Structure 1
C-alpha cells in the first residue's frame, strides 16, 4: 500500500509520523526505516519525534540511493558487493580513455601536457554523465548494450555508446551490477516473489521534495509487499498542478495562434499565485509523479493560518494559490512595526554579517525566539565562513554545517600542499607554513620558540627559494646557489664548526649559540625530509606504489594528538580507499602525481557528511534540498544576481542536455527556485534576505537575485512599495544610532554625544597635569621632532604604532635597500682602513648573501666601493677602528640635553 500524506506544515507531518510510529505493533528491536533527502532532515525528525513522543529511538534514516542499493544486496543476492558509482566508473574510464580512438576524446587528451590529469578530468566528467543516464535514462544504457543508439541525432552520442560497450567488454560483470540492470531485476523479483520477510515492516519517505522516477517506481512496487508512507510538504491545499506564470501563458497563446487547429483546452492557462507558479515547478512535477502512481491512497493534514504580518500574508497567498489582486491584507501592520520580512542591501559579505548580527540581536529581544530557532543559509556557505567567524566570534553560539573538510584542518591542507612539492619552488615561506602546523613541528621536536629561531635564521642567512643551484634550472634560472636552502643551511652548519671565516669556502659561518644546536638539528632533519619527499614524489608510479608512498609521507611528517588524529585517520582511510579502488577496477598502469593530487583534492573538498546540521546554536548552512525545515527566523544571505539561482553546469558530453527533458529530470535552477520557495514557507516569524547591492569600491548599484526581485515585485503589488534597506558602507555610520529602522546594537561603534564636537574645524585643547621635563635625551628629542603626533600617542597615550610584521621573503633581492647599502658601505670603509684587498671583502659580502651573485649585485658593490674609497680619503686622518662611545651633556635655556653617541668612526 502506497500512502501519500500531504500537509503545508512539516511539523504537522512529523507529528503524523510520530503518531503512526507509536501506534504500530512491531518488533521493538527492528528499526523504523525512514527515507530522507538530507542528513539534516533526519536529525530534525528525530528531535521532533522525541519532543512529540518523549523518546526517539531506533530510527534508521537513509538516503534513497543507499536504501535501494541495500535492497539490491538483500533481494537480488549481491551480498557485500559495492555499488557502481562515480569513483569506480572514473577508474574504469581512466583505463579505457588513453586507448579509446574517438576523435573528441583524443583531441582533448592530446591538447596539452599533463596527460594523466587531463585523462582524470575527462573521466570524471564522463562518469558523472553516465551516472545521470543510469538514474534518469536507464533505457539509454540498456539500448547502448544492445548496440542501439536511441539518441543518434545528439552530438557525442555515438562515441559514448561505443565507450559504454567497451567498458562492458573490459569488465563483463559491469553489465549485471549497474543500477539500470539491477532496477529491472528488482522490479521483476517484486512482481513475481513475496519478499515481505526481507523488507522492513514499514517504509516512510519523509520530506522529499524530489525523487528520481526510477526510485519512485521502486517504492511503488515495494508498496505491494509492505506499507510505504510518503510524507510530502505541499505548499498549497488547492490543486496547483496547472498554474503557470504570465510569461508561460503568453507563450502558450502565441503557440496557439501559430497552429491551425486548437482545442479550447490548449488555449487555457490558469495563472494562480505568481510566486507559486514561478518557484514551484519542481514541486509541481514531483506532485504529478506522485499522484500518477497506481493504487495511491492520499491523506491530507493541511493547517490554514490567518496572520496579519507581511510574511504570514505571503504564505497564506501561496497556501490558497491566490493571485495578487485577491490577496487579503485586512489588519496589515504598518511596515515600521512589522519585522517579519526584511530586505537588506549591503556592500560586502562582511557587511552582510554585521547587519545580520544586529538583526538577530533585535529578534532575540522577543523571548519566544532563541538562538536555536535561527537558520542562516547561503548559496555557498564556504564564501562566508571567514566573515561569520570574524563577526560572530563569541557573541552568540553558532555552528556551521557543510564546511568542506579542509576548512578547520591544518593537517588536511598541509597534506595537499606536501603532495604538490614537485611543483613547488620551495619558497622560504612555504616551509615555514609547514612548521606552523603543530603536528608537523611536533614530529621533528620543534616548539614555537624553535620556529621563531628558524625564521630568524632564514632571514639572516638569505634563504629565499630553491633547494640548491641545480634545482633552479627546472625553472629556467641559472645554476646559482645564492639564496637557496643549500646556501643558508651551509652557513648554519659552518657556524657550528667555526666562528672564523675560511677563505676557501663559498659561505661565511653564521654565528650560532650553542644552546640552539638541538633546534638546528631538528630543522636540518625537517629540511632533509622535505627535500627527500619532493624527490620521491616526482616519480611516475602505479596506484599501489602511490598508496605506499603516501603512507610513508604521513608517517614521516605528521605526529598528531587528540583531535588531529581524526584528520590523520581520514587521510589513511582515503589512501586505503584509493588503493582498494585501483585493485577493484584492476587499475595498475603507472600514473603521475597530477592524477593522485586531483583525486585526493576532490575527495577532501566535499562537505563532511558527519557534520551535524543542528548543533545547539544559530545554524549556518548551504542552501540544499529540504534544508528549509521550520525555524522561527530564516535568513538568506548572498542572494546576489550572479550567485543564485545557481547555473546548471553545461558539459558538452552530457547527452541529457541535448535530448528533450522528461518529468522528474533535475535542474539546478529549478531546484534553487523550489529551495527559495521552501525557505519562504519554512520561516515561522521572520524572513531576512540580504545581498551585495552596492560595489564596495565604486558604490555602484548591483541587482539582487532574480528570485529576490520577483518576491519584491510581489510585495510591491500586494503591500505597496516594499522598503529595501540600503545599509551604509561602514558599521560606524551615525545612521545606525539615529535611524530606528536600522538601529545597531554594536555600541563600541557609537560616538559619545558628549565628545562629539559640532564644530569639526576646531579641536578641544589637550590639557595635562604632567610637569614639563627638565632633562631630555637626544633620542627623545629627535623622536619628537621627527614626528610630534606619533611621539604624543606613544609617550602620553601609551599607544604603540609600530607594525611588527617580519615577513619571510621568497624572492631574491635585485636591488639594495638603504640599510643594507649603509652596512656594506661601512664594511667597505673598514676594509680600506685595514688594507683588506677589494677582491677579498667583496667575496666576503657575496658569501654572506647580502647582494645577488650576478652582474647587478657586483655592479652595486663596485659603485659602493668607489663611494667608500672617496669617503675614506676624506676622513682618513681622523678615522678610528676602535669605534668608541662618547657621552655629552648640553644646557639649553632651562633644559638639559643628554646624548650618547656609539660606534664613532671619526
Structure 2
C-alpha cells in the first residue's frame, strides 16, 4: 500500500525491530531487492548484521545513500535527469572556472574581483570555483525556492548573475530543483512508474527539504517507510536554547518598557534545545506533511544512573530545576557519563582501552560487540586505534575491534603513493623521498624489488654519494650553482662504472670514480633503480608544463602504467577513474584552458580523499 509512514523511537534497537517487522512482509516479486537508505557505510554494515541476526539472513539488499536514491527516482520519471548533468558539482566547478574570468568586469562581481586581486593564479581560480560550486549544490537541495527565483530573473547580485550564466551556458538543461518540480507534478498524474515496491529509510536524522519533498511525492506511487531516531517523544519544534531565548527577549525589549510581558520562553530541556537544531527542523518539516501512518516506538530509559536520568529528561522534555522537576544529587561513583581530558590522540586511545577493560571486568554481560566508539575524524584516529588496540593474541588486554567508515589500507596506499610521485619531480629530488616511493609495496612490486633489495638500494645510494637533484641542469633550474656532485646522474654514473670495472678506491675514468662496493648479483636491483629514475626524470619535464585537461589524463595515465603493477585493479580502480575523468572536463564542462600541476594536484586531492562537494 502506497503512503509515507514514519516510525519514531529513541532507541536504535527498537527501530531495527520495527524495520525487521516490515521487511517480513513480502514484496511483489521474490527477486526484487529490498531498498534501505542509510547515511554511511558504517550504518550499512551494522544494520545488515542486525537484520541478519533477527531474520536469519540479510541478502538481496540495496543500501543507497539519500542522494543516490533521489537520483534514481528522478531518473525513473524523467529519463534525461541523469544524462551528463551539467550541474554535477565537479562539472559545475570547471564550468564556473571557465566563466568567471569573463565576468569580473561586471560591477556585480566587484567582491570577487577584490578577492582575486594580486593573485589570479589558476589554483586560486580553481579553489574559488570549487567553493562556489559546493555552495550552489547546497542551494539546490536546501534553498530550491531561491534558485528557482534566480532562474526567473530575480536578484542581481553576483551569485544570481553567475547562476543564470550557468543556466544559459547549459543550454537550458534542467537542474535538480526544476526537476523536482516536474517530478512532483508527475506524481499527481495517473501513470505507472518503475519505483521499488517498498523503500525504507533507516537512521536518517535529517534530510534536505528538496529530498523530503521528492520522497513524499513518490509515496503516492510506492510505500516509503522512514525509521527516525528522535530523542524526545514530546513536540519540541519550538524549543530554543538559552542564547536564542536571550536574543528573542532582547529584540522584544528594544525599547525600554515595551517588552511583551506574555513571552513564554524557557522551561525546556537545555541540552536538547542547544544541540538538536537540525533534527528539530526536520521533525518540524515532517509534521507539516499528512502522513499515512505514524508509529511511536519510544522506550523509557531503565535505571537511575546519570545517563539514564539525562536520557529520560530529554525524552520527556524536562529541565532539572524547573517547575516540579527538582535537581538530584549524582553519586560520586556514577561514571555513566565521564569527560576525560587527554593531551594527545594516543593518550585518548589508551584511556579508552582502560575504561573498556574495566567495564568488561565489572559487567560480564557486556561484550565488545555491544560497544560503539565514535570519533569526529576516523582517518586521523585510525592509526592510533590500531597502535593501542592491536594487541597480540593471548594478551589479556586484547579487545576485538573493527574500524568502520574507512577506506581500505590498500586503496589509501595507492593514493598516497600516487600523490608522492607527483610531488617528487617538482621538488629537490632528494634521495630520501625517492626511497620513500620505492618502499611503497606497489612501486617495489612494479620494479621487482623485494625487502632485501630495498636494503641494498639504500646502501648503494648512500655509498655513491647521491643526495639530491636529478642532474646539473635541474640544479640550475632551481637557481642554484650548477654542479654534478651528489646528484642522481653523478651517483648512477659511479654505480654503473663500478659494476663495469673495479676502481680499488683510486682509479678514475673520465672524471668519474667507480663505486667499488657493488657485486654482479646487484645488477638487477641497479637496473630497477635506473629505470625508476629515468621515469621520474621524464615526469619532471612533463609535470613542469601546463597542459589541457585531456593531456593531463594521458600523462597521469602514463604515471599509473609506469609506477604501479598490472593486475591490481582493486586499489587502482578509483585512481584510473579519476584520471580518465579529466577527459570529460573538456567534453562536459567545455573547459579547454591550460592547467598547471598545482590545480591538478588540488583536484586529485579533493576527489581521491573524498572531500564532499
Give the TM-score normalised by the residue count of structure 2.
Answer: 0.89
Give the aligned partner of residue 489 of structure 2. 486
Distance 1:303 1:295, change over 3 A: closer
Residue 288 (structure 1) shift: 1.1
The DSSP-based 3-state class of the residue aligned with 1:203 is strand
1:570 to 574, 591, 609: 574
Distance 1:491 1:368, change over 3 A: same
Give the aligned partner of residue 403 of structure 2. 400
Residue 244 (structure 1) shift: 3.0
Distance 1:328 1:571 in 2: 59
The DSSP-based 3-state class of the residue aligned with 2:592 is coil
Distance 1:293 1:363, change over 3 A: same
Distance 1:606 1:493, change over 3 A: same
Give the aligned partner of residue 53 of structure 1. 55
User: Is 1:523 aligned with 2:529?
Assistant: yes
Give the aligned partner of residue 545 of structure 1. 551
Distance 2:527 2:199 in 1: 64
User: Is 1:603 aligned with 2:607?
Assistant: yes
Contact 1:116 1:592 in 2 (8 A): yes
Give the aligned partner of residue 508 of structure 1. 513
Residue 552 (structure 1) shift: 1.5
Give the aligned partner of residue 111 of structure 1. 118
1:387 to 369, 375, 384: 384
The DSSP-based 3-state class of the residue aligned with 1:523 is helix
- Higher Rg: 1
User: Is 1:360 aligned with 2:356?
Assistant: yes
Give the aligned partner of residue 345 of structure 1. 341
CA offsets per residue over residues 539-577 of structure 1, 9 Å max, x none? 32222221111122111222266xx54222221122223
User: Is 1:31 aligned with 2:30?
Assistant: no
Residue 264 (structure 1) shift: 6.0
Distance 1:329 1:164, change over 3 A: closer
1:444 to 430, 443, 447: 447
Give the aligned partner of residue 310 of structure 2. 314
5 Å matches for 1:82-231?
A: 82-83=84-85, 84-101=87-104, 102-109=109-116, 111-112=118-119, 115-149=121-155, 158-172=157-171, 175-191=172-188, 193-231=189-227
Give the aligned partner of residue 293 of structure 1. 289
Distance 2:524 2:241 in 1: 75
Give the aligned partner of residue 64 of structure 2. 62
Residue 196 (structure 1) shift: 4.7
Q: Which stretch shows the higher mean deviation, 441-450 or 180-189?
A: 441-450
The DSSP-based 3-state class of the residue aligned with 2:581 is helix
Give the aligned partner of residue 257 of structure 1. 253
Distance 1:461 1:57 in 2: 60
Distance 1:302 1:518, change over 3 A: closer
Distance 1:414 1:42, change over 3 A: closer
Distance 2:81 2:264 in 1: 53
Distance 2:5 2:445 in 1: 59
Distance 1:123 1:404, change over 3 A: farther
Distance 2:135 2:193 in 1: 36
Give the aligned partner of residue 884 of structure 1. none
Give the aligned partner of residue 784 of structure 1. none
Residue 350 (structure 1) shift: 1.5
Distance 1:583 1:96 in 2: 16
Distance 1:539 1:333, change over 3 A: closer
5 Å matches for 1:396-475?
A: 396-403=399-406, 409-475=412-478
The DSSP-based 3-state class of the residue aligned with 1:575 is helix
Residue 30 (structure 1) shift: 2.3
Contact 2:42 2:404 in 1 (8 A): no
Q: Unpaired runs of 5+ in structure 2?
A: 392-397
Distance 2:32 2:534 in 1: 57
Residue 479 (structure 1) shift: 0.8
1:372 to 369, 373, 384: 369
The DSSP-based 3-state class of the residue aligned with 1:96 is helix
Contact 2:144 2:177 in 1 (8 A): yes
CA offsets per residue over residues 292-324 of structure 1, 9 Å max, x none? 113564332222234122211111121122221
Contact 1:405 1:606 in 2 (8 A): no
Distance 1:80 1:159, change over 3 A: closer
Residue 291 (structure 1) shift: 0.5
Residue 125 (structure 1) shift: 0.7
Residue 25 (structure 1) shift: 5.5
Distance 1:276 1:39 in 2: 27
Q: Which stretch shows the higher mean deviation, 283-292 or 573-582?
A: 573-582
Q: Unpaired runs of 5+ in structure 1?
A: 153-157, 610-648, 650-906
Contact 2:437 2:443 in 1 (8 A): yes
Distance 2:557 2:294 in 1: 56
Distance 2:465 2:110 in 1: 52
Distance 1:414 1:36, change over 3 A: closer
Pairs aligned (count)? 593
Residue 449 (structure 1) shift: 2.5
Contact 1:245 1:271 in 2 (8 A): no
Residue 427 (structure 1) shift: 0.4
Residue 104 (structure 1) shift: 3.9
Distance 2:310 2:65 in 1: 32
Contact 2:6 2:295 in 1 (8 A): yes
Distance 1:417 1:162, change over 3 A: same
Contact 1:203 1:227 in 2 (8 A): yes
The DSSP-based 3-state class of the residue aligned with 1:324 is coil
Residue 261 (structure 1) shift: 6.2
Distance 1:282 1:569, change over 3 A: closer
The DSSP-based 3-state class of the residue aligned with 2:63 is strand
CA offsets per residue over residues 63-111 of structure 1, 9 Å max, x none? 2221121122111122752443211111212322333324444454553
Distance 2:240 2:113 in 1: 46
Residue 406 (structure 1) shift: 7.3
Distance 1:490 1:17 in 2: 70
Contact 1:242 1:270 in 2 (8 A): no
Residue 354 (structure 1) shift: 1.0
Distance 1:405 1:105 in 2: 40
5 Å matches for 1:826-845?
A: none
Q: Which stretch shows the higher mean deviation, 196-205 or 535-544?
A: 196-205
The DSSP-based 3-state class of the residue aligned with 1:346 is coil
Higher strand share goes to which structure? 1
Distance 1:523 1:138 in 2: 57
Distance 1:560 1:398 in 2: 33
Query: Alpha carbon RMSD of aligned pairs, Å?
Result: 2.7
Distance 2:291 2:241 in 1: 32
Give the aligned partner of residue 675 of structure 1. none
Contact 2:38 2:64 in 1 (8 A): yes
Give the TM-score normalised by the residue count of structure 1.
Answer: 0.62
Contact 2:141 2:210 in 1 (8 A): yes
CA offsets per residue over residues 519-538 of structure 1, 9 Å max, x none? 22222222212212222222
Give the aligned partner of residue 590 of structure 1. 594
The DSSP-based 3-state class of the residue aligned with 2:372 is strand
Give the aligned partner of residue 673 of structure 1. none
CA offsets per residue over residues 828-857 of structure 1, 9 Å max, x none? xxxxxxxxxxxxxxxxxxxxxxxxxxxxxx
